[in-house]
Amino acid sequence: MKQNTSRIKHPTFAIDVGYGNTKSAWALGSEIKLNMFPSLAPLAANTALNDFGGGVFKSRNVITVEVDGARYEVGPDVEISGAHVNTGRSLAEDYASTANYAALLGGALHYAGAHEVDQLVLGLPVHNTQKYASLLKERFAGAHNFGWGEIEIGSVLPLPQPLGTLISYIQQSGKSYDPENAYLVIDVGYFTTDWVVARGYTVHDTRSGGVPGGAARVHQQVASLITADRGEPIDGIERIDKAIRDAKPLVYFGQDLDVGPYLTEAMALTQQPVKEIQTRVGRTDDLRAIILTGGGAQLYAPAIRAAFPRNVIHMMETPCFANVRGFYTIGAARHASRSA
- CA 328/CA 340 separation, integer angstroms: 18
The answer to whether the beta carbons of residues 119 and 13 sit under 8 Å apart is yes
- Over residues 245-293, the pLDDT tens digits come to 899 999 999 999 999 999 999 999 999 999 999 999 999 999 999 999 9
Query: DSSP per residue over 13-31, as a string?
Result: EEEEE-SSEEEEEEEETTE
Residue 312 has pLDDT above 60, yes or no: yes
Confidence of residue 338 (pLDDT cuts 50, 70, 90): confident
List the chain domain ranges.
8-160+322-339, 163-214+268-318, 224-264
Tell me the helix, strand and coil percentages in the chain, rounded to 5: 40, 30, 30
Residue 84 has pLDDT above 60, yes or no: no
- The predicted pLDDT at position 7 comes to 63
* CATH code assigned to 163-214+268-318: 3.30.420.40
Residue 6 has pLDDT above 70, yes or no: no
- Over residues 172-228, the pLDDT tens digits come to 998 889 999 999 999 999 989 999 999 988 999 999 999 988 999 999 999 999 999
Angle at 252 between CA 248 and CA 257, to 5 degrees: 45
Query: Strands, E, within the chain: which ranges?
Result: 8-17, 21-28, 31-38, 63-67, 70-74, 114-124, 142-145, 150-160, 182-188, 192-199, 202-203, 209-212, 250-252, 255-257, 287-293, 313-315
- The predicted pLDDT at position 267 comes to 96
| C-alpha 70, offset from chain centre | 24
* Fold equal for 8-160+322-339 and 163-214+268-318: yes
**Least confident among 45-49, 109-113, 160-164:** 45-49
In the beta sheet, which residues pair with residue 198? 183, 203
- The predicted pLDDT at position 127 comes to 86
The highest-level CATH class for domain 8-160+322-339 is alpha beta
Mean pLDDT, residues 146-161 taken together? 95
Arithmetic mean of pLDDT over the chain: 89
Please tell me what DSSP assigns to residue 44.
P
Confidence of residue 90 (pLDDT cuts 50, 70, 90): low
The answer to whether the beta carbons of residues 71 and 65 sit under 8 Å apart is yes
pTM score of the predicted model? 0.88
The answer to whether the beta carbons of residues 170 and 189 sit under 8 Å apart is no
The answer to whether the beta carbons of residues 27 and 112 sit under 8 Å apart is no
The answer to whether the beta carbons of residues 67 and 146 sit under 8 Å apart is yes
- CA 173/CA 188 separation, integer angstroms: 21
- The predicted pLDDT at position 193 comes to 94
- The predicted pLDDT at position 51 comes to 53
- The predicted pLDDT at position 59 comes to 75
Residue 132 has pLDDT above 90, yes or no: yes
In the beta sheet, which residues pair with residue 84? none
Mean pLDDT, residues 323-338 taken together? 92
